[in-house]
Amino acid sequence: KAGVTQTPRYLIKTRGQQVTLSCSPISGHRSVSWYQQTPGQGLQFLFEYFSETQRNKGNFPGRFSGRQFSNSRSEMNVSTLELGDSALYLCASSLAGRGGLGTQYFGPGTRLLVL
């Protein structure tokens, strides 16, 4: 079974630009979560989508948004990029149902550098 895939793997942007990252979950997984990983703040939860609906949201500004499509693929968007947005963005998928909490399987990540 193919794992979680993320594209692109690397991105370089400049301040003020916007960026869209993509995540394809493991086949059959309907829950997709996004995390930001930085050396200073560690791994922080951004949001989770289930059946095209945002189910949970972390403490990030509104510049960070996401969506999920009917095939469970998800995208996250960051607008008006800041230097502090430079990070590894990880996507994870799980089999968890409507109320469940399943093991999350992580993709390889997208490394974003903001100059």
Residues in contact with other proteins by CB under 8 A are: 31-33, 35, 42-45, 48, 50, 55-56, 58, 90, 92, 94, 96, 99-109
Write down the least CB distance from residue 62 to other proteins, Å.
18
Question: How many Å separate Cα 32 from the centre of its chain?
Answer: 8
Cβ nearer to other proteins, comparing 50 with 64: 50
Write down the least CB distance from residue 45 to other proteins, Å.
5
Say if residues 95 and 29 touch (Cβ distance below 8 Å). Answer: yes
Residues 6+ apart with CB under 8 A from 73: 22, 23, 24, 25
The amino acid at 65: S
Write down the least CB distance from residue 80 to other proteins, Å.
25
